[in-house]
Amino acid sequence: MTAASAERVALPHNEVRRVDPPGVTPTRPDAFFRIHLAVGVLLSIICTLLPTSVGRDVLYTVISYGCVAMMVVGIRRHKPAHSRGWWLVAAGIGIWAVGDVLWAVYTWVLDIAPAFSVADVFYLASYVVIAAGFWSFVQARRQDSDREGLIDAAIFTVGSILISWVVLMRPGLEAAEASMGAQVLATAYPLGDLLLLALLVCLLTSQGARTPAFGWLVAANALLLLADSAYQYTAMRETAYSQYVSLAWLLGYVCFAAAALHPSMRQLTDSKSGDFDTRFTRGRLLALTVASLVAPGTLLLQLALDLPLEAWAVGLSSVVLFLLVVWRMSGLLRHLDAQASQLADLARTDALTGLPNRRTSDAELARMQNRARSEGIPLCVAVLDLDHFKKFNDTFGHQAGDNLLMATATAWQERLGQAQATAGPGHQALLGRWGGEEFVLLLMGHDQQDAVRLVEALAPATPAGQSFSAGVARWDGLESATDVFARADQALYAAKTAGRAQVCAAESLNDWAVA
């Protein structure tokens, strides 16, 4: 039973609610989650609408630390298998909140606005801690090597670096002038945002379940990046930032806590239960195309608006993007080649036993006929049929029948390999599955007597105490593949008519000798 099949339980006063059956991980949020979401959003809006004051910053602090507390509650309640990432993200948000408190102290207690302060140290440290948490999620979701996903993330990140340099970093460095602290911050904050963006893209391109907790986590990171970039942009131009920037920060805190409180957070790092397909889809192709066009697009926009050209930045990013795209395409081509090879193998082999299928056996017989004709060596065809296979299936089940076919193929292949090791050059044996419980054996370099003995030698190797009947026909050098198969098949039925568990050699179309 799954969570989707939870029972409906009747309560007093005709109230009905759904409960998850015992042993099933709940996936629907409970009342605690909904209360947090409602209260968090409401308080965030109220805090945003309040005029700038000590009370507003106190409420801001209450919301931020309240969300950190809710994250701790969520982690302890749900106990995810990979909790390290959650604890790191919670610690990062807590460190960020410390920076908020210190900035409030500078504003309302010390009445100063330093270019570089201890608050900035906490803010910058929080980027690293949150990014470490996201990297922990990415590593847990990427159980196997996913080079393509990492290359995609690198392409998006390089394009974002160029945009950040043109819009934030370079103008920020120019505005900072000779102030070393301001120059450091003008570079450090955008780099922190780029670090979070890179990890967000890695998470989005990773395998694993797209759970509600995953969505809340992505939304939280996106709101954090949006608010931070907007604040840096307004601070660089020495203008007051909009109250909506604070709202984005607060809602980001609320979303981080919502992700931790949602029961599906336990499946966030479970790549095996993932329902996300990392194929090279049209959507991903479109996104990569846009990211790759950032560099030339930036140059064209600067030319069109008569803005200062970022020749070095555009040139270097173009080179890196080009190399990443070529690397991505080479990986895609290798993947397509591997798929084509797998499809070719599937077309040539039997899916159950792994032996050559009927089509491959026909092609191999034609090739062997040409060689036998040109080199003057004997060629024999044998058709083998497991005795009473239908009765075996009816008695033990179809799964047991499939297992018998697989075991038979393996045992006969081993026995044939041993025989070929002592047969000398020029001898070849190809075992294939003809269909159902029938197998075909092509023997190059063996005359009919040797072929019969080789087929008889397979009887002791047949598993589960089963027997088989077989017909062997030597190709006369003129008849078609269809005709020689027909003679071997008629010899097989002669063996069955004679009592089964024996090999019948076809001397001619109407004359068989039972070995």
Contact between 76 and 58 under an 8 Å Cβ cutoff? The reply is no
> What is residue 134's three-state secondary structure?
helix
Give CA–CA dist 502/449, Å, rounded: 14
Confidence of residue 276 (pLDDT cuts 50, 70, 90): very low
Give CA–CA dist 96/129, Å, rounded: 10
Residue 342 has pLDDT above 80, yes or no: no
Amino acid at 6: A
- pLDDT value of position 26: 54
Least confident of 61-70, 108-117, 416-425: 416-425
Q: 23-53: per-residue pLDDT in tens?
A: 444 567 889 999 999 999 999 999 999 998 8
Residue 2 has pLDDT above 80, yes or no: no
- pLDDT value of position 13: 41
Confidence of residue 425 (pLDDT cuts 50, 70, 90): confident
Confidence of residue 87 (pLDDT cuts 50, 70, 90): very high
Residue linked to tokens 């397909």: 277
Contact between 102 and 122 under an 8 Å Cβ cutoff? The reply is yes
- pLDDT value of position 241: 64
> What is residue 177's three-state secondary structure?
coil
428's enclosing H/E stretch is: strand 428-435
Residue 473 β-bridge partners:
381, 506
CB contact set of 504 (below 8 Å; sequence gap of 6+): 469, 470, 471, 472, 491, 492, 494, 495, 498, 512, 513, 514, 515
Residue 8 has pLDDT above 50, yes or no: no
Q: How far is CA 78 from CA 75, 266, 323, in A?
A: 6, 7, 43
- pLDDT value of position 148: 76
Taking the CA atoms of 75, 81, 86 and 91 in sequence, report the sign of the dihedral they define: positive
Q: What is the mean pLDDT of residues 66-78?
A: 96
Half-sphere exposure of 140 (CA within 13 A, CB side): 20
- Mean pLDDT score of the chain: 85
Q: What is the mean pLDDT of residues 479-503?
A: 94
pTM over 0.75: no
Least confident of 46-60, 100-114, 268-282: 268-282
Contact between 389 and 469 under an 8 Å Cβ cutoff? The reply is no
Backbone φ and ψ for 429, nearest 5 degrees, come out as -130, 125
Residue 414 has pLDDT above 80, yes or no: yes
- pLDDT value of position 18: 42
- pLDDT value of position 4: 36
Q: What is the mean pLDDT of residues 318-345?
A: 82
Q: What is the mean pLDDT of residues 493-497?
A: 94
- pLDDT value of position 505: 95
Choose between 25 and 137: higher pLDDT. 137
- Among 426, 425, 424, which residue's Cα sits nearest to residue 377? 426
Sort residue 215 into left (φ over 0), alpha (ψ -120 to 50) or beta. Answer: alpha
Residue 506 β-bridge partners:
473, 512
Biggest distance spanned by C-alpha atoms of the chain: 113
Choose between 156 and 514: higher pLDDT. 156
Contact between 68 and 101 under an 8 Å Cβ cutoff? The reply is no
Residue linked to tokens 């019948």: 504
